[in-house]
Amino acid sequence: ERHRAKRRDGDREKKKRRKGRRRRASRAGEREDEKRAKNYQESEGRERDEEEQAQIKTGKTAKTKKNIKNEKTRKVEQEEGEAEERNAKGKKKHGSAKKEEKDEDGGKCLRPESLSPEELEKLKEAVDERKKLIQGLRGKPWSMKKKLVTLRESQEFVEKYEGALGKGKGRKLYAYKVMMAKKWMKFQRDFENFKTACIPWEMKIKEIESHFGSSVASYFIFLRWMYGINMILFGLTFGLVMVPEALMGRPYGSIPRKTVPRAEEASAMDFAVLWDFGGYAQYSVLFYGYYNNQRAIGWLKFRMPLSYFLVGVGTVAYSYMVVIRTMARNANESGVGDDNSFNFSWKTFTSWDYLIGNPETADNKFASITTSFKEAILEEQESRKDDNIHLTRFLRVLANFLVLCCLAGSGYLIYFVVRRSQKFALDGLDTHTWWERNEVNMVMSLLGMFCPMLFDVISALENYHPRVALQWQLGRIFALFLGNLYTFIIALMDEINLKREEEKIVKFNITTWEASLYNSTVSENSTGPPITIQPADVPRGPCWETMVGQEFVRLIISDTMTTYITLLIGDFLRAVLVRFLNYCWCWDLEAGFPSYSEFDVSGNVLGLIFNQGMIWMGAFYAPCLPALNVLRLHVSMYLQCWAVMCCNVPQERVFKASGSNNFYMAMLLVILFLSTLPAIYTIVTIPPSFDCGPFSGKKRMFDVIQETLESDFPAWFSKVFSSASNPGLVLPFILLMVLAIYYLQSTSKSYKEANVELKKKLQTSLLQLLMCPCQAKRGEQEEEQTSSAEGTDGPRGGQKSCITDCRATKEQQRVTTRPRR
Amino acid sequence: MGNKQTTFTDEQLEAYQDCTFFTRKEVLRLHGRYRELAPHLVPLDFTNNPDIKVPLTLIVTMPELKENPFRDRIVETFSEDGHGNLSFNDFVDMFSALCETSPRELKTIYAFKIYDFNRDNFICKEDLRKTLNKLTKGELTPEEVTLVCDKAVEEADLDGDSKLSFSDFENMISKAPDFLSNFHIRI
């Protein structure tokens, strides 16, 4: 209502102004015309007084913030000065003394027609500054009382003069804009609250955080983030590939590629076969081979092959985008990346979590802070020791040599095993034991489990600082996994080539088979009905894409099983044994040899990263992989949360691999790149199988894009595209991008240098300030800084006298120079 | 408009929304929490800005502040008289400055004030010692405490006066990765 009242007043004032100046003008007019020159210095003095008082009183601070020394502002202050006399009347109606000055004042509003354009401009600036002040009031370090008073004053000022400046509806527009801005902020805040409420497992992670600290919790946060990504990938593959084919494509059994061959029908439902993803599992939407190459299916005319291709590309593109965006965000937050220069300061000032409200958690936090301090102190002391360089160097070289031998050995072992499994496949899978059938996967998983332990033992030779040792360990495990994966892929390539050879033979056989069928029917009756052959009887080509998909799925399943079994045996069984055998054992099992296990953060993170790499590799050939991964991550989350709380103890020495999360993100990016390479290679070079999958019949898989451009888009579109793929255009474009990258890199380098320079400047200027604190300019700057630093009006002791001295001299200078104008 | 609450006038609520990071509902909820601390002292009707202050001893019993080793300093920093007696304005101000949407600069200013135990606008070694003892509950030996204080001052002090001024503190905190997430009270 107050706003409305003010608006009414404003309107009334304008009308009065227009009608007759003399009605109200008596005192105001006289003042303005006669005393303009005389009150020059008086108002100056009043202004100055007010400026000084502003530091002490909670009053006209807002006004003094502006340095507008024009006639208008002085007039305003004059009028307010006299309006202060009329306090008594105002106090009853309104809440505070200062506010009613303005209300009474409204009658003496300045007439905009009497001002020149420059003054109008300055008034506009003043109003804008007030508006900005109101917007930024929340972030000011003042006491609430001061903020409330400033708010009221500024709002009144803005309303009074904004209406005077613009047309009548300007005020309404402003109010409308403010209301919309507020609504928008509220909406944003509600949305943020909703988003945070949607995040799963928040309480679980908080519990783990309070018991084990942030490094263990960071693994679970990473797991949750991966889960989010996989959900999106799952959504894409499920919604755009699997569901359309299942709903709108031809049903099971209608065409040869969708049916289990007659020979396999008997065993198609066996659990063993299904577990191996053969039988009915193989001939379903889970794998590449099921999809029909019909260009458009269903009443929606859904372009299945196009969708399959684009989803494959889209999953990779989305993953790149998300990883790079997260890396950029982490880089921004952590500032200069891995900065150790403020270790102790940060531990002192930022280690306590103000959110803790639970006494047990608080105790844990106190303990962990103490431990963290103790180990930082230890680190500090250890860094002052020196040791025998030559011996350590020799040992380190020896250790690296041993590690290389291990890596080579594991690579050869995998290759050997894959070749052996190919031999087994030729013999027929039924003649071999379970181990021989699953040899490849088991060997890979076991290598992944035991080699890191071996590396750990070898690294005892090296005698590095724990953080450096951890980085070496991670690097070696990374190399191990990568080597294994690529050996696996090379072996897979051999199999693909074999299958393609087989395909040629099958193609030849099919033509002869068809011919023989045709001949037999023609011999019976020349005008007979067309032959109906059961799809299950049609001879089938080997579908190398489905084979690849199956291999990846089997690998991931065995990897998962290995992880879970290691968890149960390595952590849970060990904890049970330690706990219960301790009563009847010679030495203290809990403190001594086995004891409870610690949660291996880096090993688990690496495992997660590589698992994701395998998903990215295989997702094109087995659309079911993201779904499987979502399930796996979901189960992992619960299982590992339980295992950590139940069987693990907090680490005694906590060393993170790096200060920021970007270390793991960088690894993820590398894996993403390396795992999409093989898929891209196969898409680009190898022709698709002739009788299975959505691209059957094409020469290359990406021909589907060409086909879509030609048939579905208007003619000019394909012309534009074909001219865009002209090397004459592409090469300059690539050149342009390279130049842009170079430019950005050089600007970022120059920013870093500028940063260092500014730091140095800061140090030298502070030193100078200490030498001579009464330099007027520097004194003012310092005053501004510290006055923003301390919002409350505490006593400032010695510094204040110095400042007022400086100000006094400055004031004198100003006053003496004034009359010259 | 059209609410039945009579605790605040609409104008007061608007003013609070402009001066803090809270919404209307949150301000009313805060008033409920404030009143809970001392129901006999705090009136239900705040429309004429009663001058009520809740003492420090009652405020630190709040569950959000109970376990915090710096609870006394926090409440003292936001009180007008410097002894920890908060009016409702101060109460709202305190939680607004420490809430999640509060900007880094504001939190830095108040963090400096909180850790400055003797209120001389510098964090000297004595202030650091007190901070450390509160953080570790006296578990560190005096030599270790001295070492940590020396190291911290050595790291952050730019102007060489062996105590931290606000600009030193700000420079050090601006690069800290955990500051924003840790220096945050949810109410």
Per-residue DSSP letters for A620-670? TT-TTHHHHHHHHHHHHHHHHHHHHHHHEE--SS---S-SSTHHHHHHHHH
- Closest A-chain CA to B102: A139
Q: Residues of B with CB below 8 A from A791's CB?
A: 109
CA nearest to A563, candidates A629, A494, A469: A629
- Helix H, strand E, coil C: the string for A27-85 is HHHHHHHHCCCCHHHHHHHHHHHHHHHHHHCCCCHHHHCCCCCCHHHHHHHHHHHHHHH
Give how far B162 is from chain A: nearest CA, Å.
13
Residue B21 scores a pLDDT above 70: yes
Alpha helices in A84-116 (DSSP H): 87-93, 97-105
- Closest B-chain CA to A186: B23
Of B98, B111, B167, the CB nearest to A349: B111
- Closest A-chain CA to B63: A357
CA end-to-end distance (rounded Å), chain B: 25
Q: pLDDT value at position A60?
A: 42
Percent above pLDDT 70 for chain A: 71
The Cα–Cα gap between A347 and B155 comes to 12
Confidence at B149, pLDDT banded by 50, 70, 90? very high
**Dihedral angle sign, alpha carbons of residues A348, A349, A353, A355:** positive
Residue B131 scores a pLDDT above 90: yes
**Dihedral angle sign, alpha carbons of residues A549, A555, A557, A560:** negative
- DSSP state, residue B164: B
**B177/A334 touch (CB, cutoff 8 Å), yes or no:** yes
Residues facing residue B164 across a β-bridge: B123
CA nearest to B177, candidates A249, A4, A331: A331
Give how far A228 is from chain B: nearest CA, Å.
22
Q: pLDDT value at position A415?
A: 82
pLDDT in tens, A79-135: 444 444 444 443 444 333 344 334 334 434 455 555 677 887 888 888 888 888 888
CA dihedral A560, A563, A566, A571 (to 10 degrees): -130
Over its C-alpha atoms, chain B yields an Rg (Å, rounded) of 19
**B128/A348 touch (CB, cutoff 8 Å), yes or no:** yes
Of A152, A339, A788, the CB nearest to B175: A339
The Cα–Cα gap between A223 and A599 comes to 14
Percent above pLDDT 90 for chain A: 10
Count helices and strands in chain A by DSSP H and E runs? 32, 2
Residue to substitute from B33, B95, B134, B175, interface A, most A β-carbons within 10 A: B175
Type of residue found at A451? C
Token pair of A641 as six digits: 């949360």
Only one residue has tokens 């396999």, namely A264
The Cα–Cα gap between B10 and B7 comes to 10
Q: How far is CA A271 from CA A277, A280, A368, A807, in A?
A: 9, 10, 50, 90
**What is the mean pLDDT, run by run of 10 residues, along chain A of 821 residues?**
49 51 46 47 46 42 41 46 42 39 42 66 84 86 90 86 58 76 78 72 75 73 91 92 86 80 79 81 85 83 87 92 86 55 86 77 80 81 68 86 89 83 72 74 80 83 74 84 83 84 85 80 59 73 85 88 87 86 78 76 85 90 92 94 84 52 82 89 86 83 81 79 80 92 93 87 78 54 49 41 45 44 39
Give φ, ψ of A649 to 5 degrees. -115, 155
Of B155, B166, B183, the CB nearest to A786: B166
- Closest A-chain CA to B78: A143
Q: Residues of B with CB below 8 A from A770's CB?
A: 159-161
CA nearest to A649, candidates A367, A458, A449: A367
Do residues A352 and B69 make contact, with C-beta atoms less than 8 angstroms apart? yes
The Cα–Cα gap between A336 and B139 comes to 32
Of A344, A357, A797, the CB nearest to B67: A357
Give how far A500 is from chain B: nearest CA, Å.
54
**A356/B68 touch (CB, cutoff 8 Å), yes or no:** yes
**B23/A346 touch (CB, cutoff 8 Å), yes or no:** no
Report which of residues B104 and A714 the model is more confident about: B104
Q: pLDDT value at position A519?
A: 77
Q: Residues of A with CB below 8 A from B183's CB?
A: 350, 354
Q: Which residues contact B121 (CB under 8 A, 6 or more apart)?
A: A786, A789, A790, A794, A796, B165, B166
pLDDT in tens, B28-70: 889 999 999 999 988 888 888 888 899 999 999 988 888 899 9
Give how far A812 is from chain B: nearest CA, Å.
30
CA nearest to A347, candidates B72, B145, B159: B145
The Cα–Cα gap between A183 and A194 comes to 16
Q: pLDDT value at position A214?
A: 62
Q: Residues of B with CB below 8 A from A790's CB?
A: 113, 121
- Closest A-chain CA to B160: A767
Give how far B14 is from chain A: nearest CA, Å.
10
